[in-house]
Amino acid sequence: MPVIINGQTYYRTAEVCRMAGISRNTVFRWLKEGIFMEAELRDRRGWRLFTEAQIDKLKTEVNRIIEDQAE
Residue 59: which domain range? 3-70
Q: What is the pLDDT of residues 1-53, one digit of tens each?
A: 899 989 999 999 999 999 999 999 999 998 888 888 777 788 889 999 999 99
**Which candidate, 42, 39, 13, places its Cα nearest to that of 26?**
13
7: domain CATH number is 1.10.1660.10
Length of the chain: 71
Q: What is the pTM of this model?
A: 0.78
Alpha-carbon distances of 49 from 26, 31, 65, 71, rounded to whole Å: 16, 13, 23, 34
Q: Does the pLDDT of residue 69 top 90, yes or no?
A: no
Whether the CB-CB separation of 31 and 38 falls below 8 Å is answered with yes
The structural domain count of the chain equals: 1
Mean pLDDT computed over 44-64: 90
